[in-house]
Every structure is written in C-alpha cells, then in structure tokens.
Amino acid sequence: MNKIKIGLLIGLAAFSLNASATSFKYGKGDNHDRDGKYSTSKDGCAVCDPDNSIFGSDFKEGKSTQTFKNFIPDTDATFTAVGGNFQKKTQDGYTGVGVSGKTSGEIDIGERIDVSFTKNILITNITLGLLFDGPEYGDVNETAKITATFLDGTQSDFFLTATGLTTATWTGPGTVSNISEASYGEGALWAIANPFGDKRVSALSFTAVTGLCGSGKCNNQSDYVLHCISAVPEPSTYAMMMAGIAAVGFSARRKAKKTQA
C-alpha cells in the first residue's frame, strides 16, 4: 500500500472520529428502533436514519424555540412552535413533538412548527405520527400540511392524508410507508421518503388542515405529531470533507518523506 493510500485512510479515520464526536448526536432519545424498522428499508422506502435525524423525543418541553447544532455536518436547524410551546406525546412506543395548544402535544389547525436550516439541505425522510384516517377518536381523514421553502426562494405546499389503516396519500414526489397502523391505540405513523425529490430546502413549516369525513362521527379535526426529520448536507459540505481528507493525506505523505530523509 503506497503512502498516498495510507494518508487517505488516516484522513477518513480522522473525519469519522470527528463526526462521531461532534455531529451525529440526535435521534437517540426514544424507542424508535423497537421494531427494527429504522435500521433497514420498508418496501424500498428509507425511514429515519438515527445518525442523521432530529426526533420528537429530542425536544425540550416548555420552550417555543430550539436549535440543534450540527444535526448533519456543518448545518444547524432552528425550530419554532407557533400557538404554544413544544410538547411531546408518546403512543405505541413512538414519541413525537407538537404544540401545547388545542390538542396537547399535537400540531392542530391554526398551530405550526417551523424549522429553518443554516444551509440548503436535501430532506431524505419526514415521519409524522398520530395522523388517523377515521373513525378512530372521531377523526376525519386527517391531513398534514407541509410548506417547503426551496433553494431559489420559492415555496410550495404539500399534503399528507391518512386514507386507511395502512394507506395514505402524499402530494409531493416522494413515497409514503406506514410504520404503525392508524387504528385505536396505535401510532398512526407515516414515513415519507424523499418528500421533495432532489430539491433542496432552506425551511419547512408543519401545520394541519381540515380533513374529509370518511366514516363515524368525524367530530375531531386534523392534528398530528412530528416524529422525525432526516437529511443530508449540501454538495459543498461533501466537497469540504473530501478536501480535508486530501489535506490530511498530503500532510501524512510529507511527514513520511521527511522521516525517510
């Protein structure tokens, strides 16, 4: 093995240790891996990666603003609750975050959770919970609204609607997978893989809208929790990583030459 390869290996090891120590520290707070569904793919739809995600269980209750430093390399995320403070709710072993307003611990109509990122990032997964299809809890076909602000400054609204125990519709380019079915006492958990395709975002806003009555009394309108968000850095971050690795490799090669001399 030549000295350049040795240098690159040293650089990779150094980066790996640094990332483990400083960047990937969220998503460890709840029992999100209890079924093993967060370590693999489900029907080809990737779910939240524990190393590159923010989970509802990571939030501090009673606050209206919270910043997660380096939730992915070199990128911070700042969340703001509108209509109350952050409040967590757990059902079927899954913890999500909502607002301490109309329906405690859930995002209700007229309430929001907003998030802004310090860099434009690619969202790989959004998982929402307690989004029921009705008639559980007297619900309608509950609908979550997500507004995305893209790299060019434009905004678009997307809607996730629960239509059955394990089926839902999503108006964006991604695909929806059911993690916990939408029946009484279950988590009604939906994972949206690549929700905005290959478009990078700078901000997101989560709220609820009036749903459609499927069956039953339907006297309870849409509300839900944010379970997790996963993302990857923008390309420039990867370029900086590779430059750092190359620099470490070059430095190691120079040291090796000096030692030989």
Secondary structure (DSSP) of 53-112: EEEGGGSPTT-SEEEEEEEETTEEEEEEEESS-EEEEEETTEEEEEESSSSTTBEETT-E
Phi-psi group of 178: left, alpha or beta (phi > 0 → left; psi -120 to 50 → alpha; rest → beta):
beta
- Predicted pLDDT of residue 220: 81
- Predicted pLDDT of residue 188: 95
228 in Cβ contact with 70 (< 8 Å):
no
- Predicted pLDDT of residue 219: 79
Place of tokens 């029946």: 183
Which has more confidence, 31 or 101?
101
User: What CATH code is carried by the domain that includes residue 190?
Assistant: 2.60.120
Confidence of residue 218 (pLDDT cuts 50, 70, 90): confident
10 Å Cβ neighbour count for 230? Answer: 26
- Across the range 193-212, mean pLDDT stands at 95
Look at residue 14 and tell me if it is in a domain: no
10 Å Cβ neighbour count for 62? Answer: 9
Look at residue 8 and tell me if it is in a domain: no
Which of 28-37, 60-69, 157-166, 228-237 shows the lowest mean pLDDT across its residues?
Answer: 28-37
Look at residue 218 and tell me if it is in a domain: yes
- Predicted pLDDT of residue 121: 95
Domain range holding 73? 27-234
Look at residue 155 and tell me if it is in a domain: yes
CA neighbor of 92 nearest in space, from 219, 184, 168 = 184
- Across the range 37-62, mean pLDDT stands at 68
174 in Cβ contact with 191 (< 8 Å):
no
- pLDDT, tens only, 230-255: 998 766 544 445 545 555 554 555 55
Domain count, the chain: 1
The overall average pLDDT reported for the chain is 79
H helical segments located in the chain: 3-22, 235-260
Q: What's the predicted TM-score (pTM) here?
A: 0.76
- pLDDT, tens only, 116-149: 999 999 999 999 999 999 888 888 899 999 999 9
Dihedral sign, Cα of residue 194, residue 182, residue 143, residue 229: negative
What percent of the chain stands above pLDDT 70?
Answer: 70
CA distance 192 to 20: 26
Which has more confidence, 153 or 219?
153
Look at residue 125 and tell me if it is in a domain: yes
- Residue type (1 letter), 127: T
Dihedral sign, Cα of residue 13, residue 28, residue 71, residue 60: negative
- Predicted pLDDT of residue 9: 47
Look at residue 239 and tell me if it is in a domain: no
Look at residue 252 and tell me if it is in a domain: no
Look at residue 121 and tell me if it is in a domain: yes
